[in-house]
């Protein structure tokens, strides 16, 4: 299956809420297979459809037990709190400690259209929450505390403008003439 380019921070497709999958057909199965290959090649633990430009509610993941897919996922319960260093394929090379619920109960469909119900905690639960955020148009930068978010946005703006990482606001290069 062909690899699909992963959309990066700043791409408007990452900010839009995705639409429910209404039919599981051959095209969707092909997309899922390509997403799995893309996720492994990146490498990552999860990949939401909108990260490859497809506005549908599905994600693929591998939390250590092989690749899986969840179509039209919803978290119906969450509990506890867990801080963990979290990164994102759409914000490559950066990660931050983010606090999320420790345990979640996820429901959705598998690739055959069967209902699934998964209770997950720690890493697997975090993957579910991260990918669901993507499907809702929320990037991990929005989960940061205010000071972290300011610093992250400064770095990301610098990347968008192709500024030196040591000079993310561009001031040094402006006044070094």
User: What distance in Å separates the CA atoms of residue 118 and residue 122, rounded to the nearest whole number?
Assistant: 13
Tell me which of 81, 131, 142, 146 is the catalytic residue: 131
- Active site (annotated) includes residue 131: yes
Other CB atoms within 10 A of residue 145 CB: 11
Report phi then psi at 59, rounded to 5.
-145, 155
CA 60 to mean position of chain CA atoms: 10
In degrees and rounded to multiples of 5, residue 173 shows phi and psi of -70, -30
| Residue 3, phi-psi category: left (phi > 0), alpha (psi -120 to 50), beta (remainder) | beta
Residues catalogued as catalytic: 131
């Amino acid at each position: 299956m062909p690899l699909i380019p992963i959309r990066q921070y700043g791409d408007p497709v990452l900010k839009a809420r995705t639409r429910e999958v209404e039919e599981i057909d051959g095209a969707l199965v092909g997309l899922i297979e390509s997403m799995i290959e893309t996720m492994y090649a990146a490498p990552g633990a999860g990949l939401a459809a909108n990260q490859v430009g497809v506005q549908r509610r599905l994600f693929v993941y591998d939390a250590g037990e092989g690749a899986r897919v969840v179509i039209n996922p919803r978290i119906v319960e969450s509990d506890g709190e867990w801080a963990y260093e979290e990164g994102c394929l759409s914000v490559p090379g950066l990660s931050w400690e983010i606090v999320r619920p420790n345990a979640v109960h996820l429901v959705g469909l598998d690739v055959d259209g069967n209902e699934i119900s998964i209770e997950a905690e720690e890493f697997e639960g975090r993957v579910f929450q991260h990918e669901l955020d993507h499907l809702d148009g929320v990037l991990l930068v929005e989960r940061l505390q205010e000071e972290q978010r300011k610093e992250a946005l400064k770095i990301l703006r610098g990347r968008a403008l192709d500024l030196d990482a040591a000079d993310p606001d561009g001031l040094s290069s402006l006044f070094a003439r």
